[in-house]
């Protein structure tokens, strides 16, 4: 099937503003891996200023602290996820996964006419 449709979903969460989406989710994962916001940003080719901004915006929009400074270590000034950030990120990813599964089902249902034609 050359032309079978597949869905790509993006989930953004708003409070009084857009505050959580694929970008900050990816960034938090990388902070967890690199123990530093700067290294996390670098690893995804995001400007540090942007990484800082989307983190601040998410924290303010959610009213939740996402990053905690860890002092010491090489270069000092590292960062770690707070427990709230882990909880939030896990919930976000469960939603993304479930929506993705449902999206694939829906496409198969609603676009049966199309996929059949291109089979």
Secondary element (H or E) of residue 81: strand 78-81
Binding mask 40-69 for a second copy (x = CB under 8 A): ---------------------xxxx-----
CB 66 within 8 A of CB 84: yes
Residue with Cβ nearer a second copy (25 or 40): 25
7 binds a second copy per the rule CB under 8 A? yes
Distance CA 40, CA 55 (A): 12
CB of 38: closest distance to a second copy in angstroms? 28
CB 70 within 8 A of CB 78: yes
86 binds a second copy per the rule CB under 8 A? no
- What contacts 7, CB < 8 A, 6 or more positions away? 100, 103, 104, 106, 107
Binding stretches for a second copy (CB under 8 A): 2-16, 18, 61-64, 87-88, 91-92, 94-95, 98-99, 102-103, 106-107, 110-111, 113-114, 118
């Amino acid at each position: 099937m050359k032309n079978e449709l597949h869905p790509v979903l993006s989930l953004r969460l708003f409070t009084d503003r857009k505050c959580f989406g694929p970008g900050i989710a990816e960034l938090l994962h990388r902070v967890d891996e690199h123990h530093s916001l700067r290294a996390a940003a670098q690893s995804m080719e995001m400007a540090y200023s942007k990484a800082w901004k989307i983190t601040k915006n998410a924290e303010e929009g959610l009213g939740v602290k996402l990053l905690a400074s860890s002092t010491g270590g090489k270069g000092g000034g590292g960062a770690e996820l707070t427990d709230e950030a882990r909880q939030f990120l896990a919930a976000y990813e469960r939603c993304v996964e479930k929506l993705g599964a449902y999206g694939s089902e829906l496409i198969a249902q609603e676009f049966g006419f199309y996929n059949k034609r291109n089979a």
